[in-house]
Amino acid sequence: MKYKSLLFSLLLFLYITCHAQNIDSLKFVHGEWNTVNIESGVTLSTLHTTLFGEMQYISIVRLHKKKIKLELIPHTRLEKTSLIATKQGAVSAINAGYWNVKKVVPSTLVRKDGLTLSRTEEREMFRVDGAVAFLKRGIKIFKCDTMQYAKYERKFRNLLACGPVLMLNGKKVDFSGKNKSFFTKRHPRTIIAQTRGGDILFIVIDGRHKGLATGMTTSEMAQMCSWLEVKNALNLDGGGSSTMWCRDYEIVNHPSDNHSFDNNGERSVSSSILAIKR
């Protein structure tokens, strides 16, 4: 009798979980997205709705691979992504890699124009399991071993290590065994992703605004990326750093550094990824 009761409870839990995910997927895919054209081959879409039982605000920029090139920009000092993007004449931009707040330097591998500027610190290795290489045509997101950086440096002139990887070859990563708060708690997040056709997505998920934008766990991010049907996706620096900028619209998300649900809380960071018209 006790066994039957436990089995019933488990089946009920699985049903409720699957049913909730199905509702969330429908709300995400068929939600009231607000979409505008920034440039030929560049669109901005935003969605403010309830997902995973909490309010979410999601911003997505889709970049056509033939019309836009990406550039990794390491900053010589902490700088706001919006200022760098404006100076460089970008169409859109997001914050990029993790950085050491005390030393005010990048805390993961950053390689620019064939020169390695930094290596991944030991304290970052629990979450840094991937990288994005910036190529002449598009990007390459892949799983990488921090002990094999020399191999990647020989192959790529422009490279950023970050993580965790969320999607790889069309399959979402399983984070069920990860118990650190970085993985299990909801935070603002920044993602770079690649579609099966080679187009690129900038994704920013707002957070730390209770009742307005809660943020996501890594499992929830991976689930969202699977709804977008991306091929590969990599988590970048998040928290107060999460920022998305678009030409003519300025900051389009709600950075949390000023603790207000507005567009004025942008944080200065150590690197940015810029989308520039070819």
CA 146/CA 85 separation, integer angstroms: 30
Based on the fold, state whether residues 6 and 120 are members of the same structural domain.
no
Higher-confidence position of 238 and 8:
238
pLDDT of 21 reads 63
Based on the fold, state whether residues 165 and 207 are members of the same structural domain.
yes
Please spell the DSSP secondary structure of 216-250, one letter per residue. Answer: B-HHHHHHHHHHTTEEEEEE---GGG--EEETTTE
Note the pLDDT tens digit of each residue in 195-232: 999 999 999 999 999 999 999 999 999 999 999 999 99
pLDDT of 5 reads 55
Is residue 92 predicted with pLDDT exceeding 50?
Answer: yes
Q: Measuring CA to CA, how many Å separate 4 from each of 11, 12, 16, 237, 242?
A: 10, 12, 18, 46, 47
Helix (H) / strand (E) element for 152: namely helix 149-155
- Asked if residue 190 lies in contact with residue 204, where contact means CB atoms within 8 angstroms, the answer is yes
Based on the fold, state whether residues 6 and 82 are members of the same structural domain.
no
Based on the fold, state whether residues 47 and 98 are members of the same structural domain.
yes
- Rounded average pLDDT over 103-119: 94
- Rounded average pLDDT over 134-149: 92
Based on the fold, state whether residues 148 and 272 are members of the same structural domain.
yes
pLDDT of 195 reads 94
pLDDT of 20 reads 54
- Rounded average pLDDT over 20-24: 75
pLDDT band of residue 22 (cuts 50, 70, 90) is: confident
Based on the fold, state whether residues 1 and 126 are members of the same structural domain.
no
Is residue 11 predicted with pLDDT exceeding 60?
Answer: no
Is residue 10 predicted with pLDDT exceeding 60?
Answer: no
Based on the fold, state whether residues 248 and 161 are members of the same structural domain.
yes
Based on the fold, state whether residues 21 and 105 are members of the same structural domain.
no
Is residue 89 predicted with pLDDT exceeding 70?
Answer: yes
Based on the fold, state whether residues 217 and 83 are members of the same structural domain.
yes
Number of domains in the chain: 2
What range does the domain containing 76 cover? 33-277
Based on the fold, state whether residues 8 and 70 are members of the same structural domain.
no
Based on the fold, state whether residues 6 and 140 are members of the same structural domain.
no
Helix 2-29 / helix 218-227 crossing angle, nearest 10 deg: 60
Query: Nearest to residue 226, comparing CAs of 270, 169, 177, 145?
Result: 169
- Asked if residue 216 lies in contact with residue 224, where contact means CB atoms within 8 angstroms, the answer is yes
pLDDT band of residue 16 (cuts 50, 70, 90) is: very low
Based on the fold, state whether residues 187 and 111 are members of the same structural domain.
yes
- Asked if residue 109 lies in contact with residue 99, where contact means CB atoms within 8 angstroms, the answer is no
